[in-house]
Amino acid sequence: MPERTYAVATCRGSREEMMNLYGRLEEWIGGSRYEPDNEEGVYSFEVNPLKPVNPSDIPPDMIDAIHFDIYRAVRLRD
């Protein structure tokens, strides 16, 4: 993965709060000196703390509380 600058947000809460956080992160980027970095080969990603359980082992409809970090690739505006 290429080295990049990332806007990072920690998501803790319900699925609705998660969706709101994605929107707030994009709003923050839009109002900052950064812009989304959508260059080919650049990725944004999510990091889950895998303790005490791996969230990938739980069916999505069974998850009540969400906890992960969103890393959104950004670059300085021209």
Element (H or E) spanning 15, and its range?
helix 15-30
Task: Pick the most confident of 29-43, 45-59, 60-74.
Answer: 29-43
Rounded to an integer, the average pLDDT of 30-42 is: 94
DSSP assignment letter at 31: T
The pTM score is: 0.78
Rounded to an integer, the average pLDDT of 28-57 is: 84
d(CA 33, CA 35): 7
